[in-house]
Structure 1
Amino acid sequence: MLGKLLFTVAVTMAAQLAYAQPQTSVDVTKAPGQATVAATATVTATVVAIERDTRTVTLKDGKGKVFEVEVGEEARNLDQLKVGDIVTTEYKRAISLSLEKTSGPRSETQRLIEERTAPGAKPGGTVGHEVTVIADVVSVNAKAKSVTLKGPKGNTVDVIVEDPEQMKNIRKGDQVKVVYTEAIAISVQPGANQ
């Protein structure tokens, strides 16, 4: 339950911080039989006001835009936050397609990613989830550089595989592993005058 609450708070904060024009980056890595795409959006803002009774923090981004974020009870150490502190929020998404041969039934597993700051430290932490799916290869279209995968619930999805070397390793009837990760990390640094 705590994990769900932290994830809900993190997603709410990510949605509010999205208005602050984040810096984004996308990384693609390839290796034989594997490809990973990871995207990161980072927003940095300064704390300009704190309303402890309502747990509302007012932030100002580098372009002068001011916005409020409600911090839930499950977030530790709000009392350590001070006006002038720098809040950095990093939102990450990654998908990894591993073309290793596996056997057994199609499956899906989920893992909660959760790391909270120690009591007494500046507020922050990481929350997210990782989903691992073992899927069947239903079809391979080398010309279109796509593979159709069938997941454990019977749904199918087309995946683009840019690397022709990886396409050589995939055959109809094979199984592949897909890992999807989504997380948000929040850190607070003391302001310049502290």
Structure 2
Amino acid sequence: MRTDPRTLRTCLSRFATGVTVVTCEGDSAAHGATVNSFTAVSLEPPLVLVSLDRNTKACKYLDGKPFTINVLREPQQDLALHFAGKPMAEEPEWEHPGGDLAPRLAGALATIACAPWRSYDGGDHVLYLGEIREIDFDDGDPLVFYAGKFRHLGKAVGTVPWLESGDCPSLSWFPAG
């Protein structure tokens, strides 16, 4: 049975995500794409993954090149829309850290600068793994996306459940493999 793409997209939108902009250098200019398909992969080595539609300009610029994941703050909806194809009146403010690091957006809640690690075929997307080279983060609330709309993060509830779990490998009593 084939799943209708629109129905699948609606179903997947029920998973709340943060909003990121993946930035890179291409044709001697900074580029970016709004992405909510971003995840941590490994702590050792430090790896993250981002999934980009094959048809985006940023996708062709990322192949084998450094990139930065910019986690957007709650009031940065305009930036998210800008890099999703609805340009803002003013050009976004860029920071260029130099060396082999990709450009990043000024004022992001967090930035994760990556060297290319691997890329994989993901159907109509390409999965890019990056090895983290530099991080920067600040306090504040993230921009959240759920059911096709930007949202505000609600109040925190409870504690971090996995820290109290018998499956947490960082607990001192956890038996070695």
TM range (shorter): under 0.3
- TM-score, normalization by structure 1: 0.21
For the pair shown, which has the larger CA radius of gyration, 1 or 2?
A: 1
Q: Could you say which structure has the higher strand fraction?
A: 1
- TM-score, normalization by structure 2: 0.22
